[in-house]
């Protein structure tokens, strides 16, 4: 299997690969070197997913109702 460079992956592709990575690590049928390499790629995939979510969050706004019935737009804040 030819692995794409992580920065070239879409969020969806990175997330799917991350799920598969976790499953392979949990199965425990890897050599130590394979597990370490897979873990490191998984860390990079998780970081990419987090960055992409953060970027998307910066583009999302929410509408809050005003007393006069109108709405005002404010940046969406992610709860932590």
User: Does residue 63 sit in helix, strand or coil?
Assistant: strand
Helix axes 32-59, 11-27, angle to 10 degrees: 150
Is 80 within a domain?
no
One pLDDT digit (tens) per residue for the chain, 80 residues: 557 799 899 999 999 999 999 999 999 999 999 999 999 999 999 999 999 988 877 666 777 888 999 988 887 776 65
**Cα 1 from Cα 4, distance rounded (Å):** 9
- Residue range(s) defining the domain that contains residue 59: 9-75
Chain position carrying tokens 């692995």: 3
Report how many domains make up the chain.
1
Is 3 within a domain?
no
Running DSSP on this structure, what letter comes out for residue 9?
A: S
Q: 9: Cβ–Cβ under 8 A, 6 or more apart, which residues?
A: 17, 45, 48
Is 4 within a domain?
no
Q: Can you give the pTM of this predicted structure?
A: 0.69
């Amino acid at each position: 299997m030819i692995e794409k460079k992580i920065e070239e992956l879409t969020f969806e592709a990175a997330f799917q690969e991350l799920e598969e990575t976790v499953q392979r690590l949990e199965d425990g049928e890897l050599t130590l070197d394979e597990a370490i390499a897979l873990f490191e790629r998984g860390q990079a995939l998780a970081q990419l997913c987090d960055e992409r979510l953060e970027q998307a969050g910066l583009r999302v706004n929410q509408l809050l109702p005003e007393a006069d019935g109108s709405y005002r737009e404010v940046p969406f804040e992610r709860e932590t």
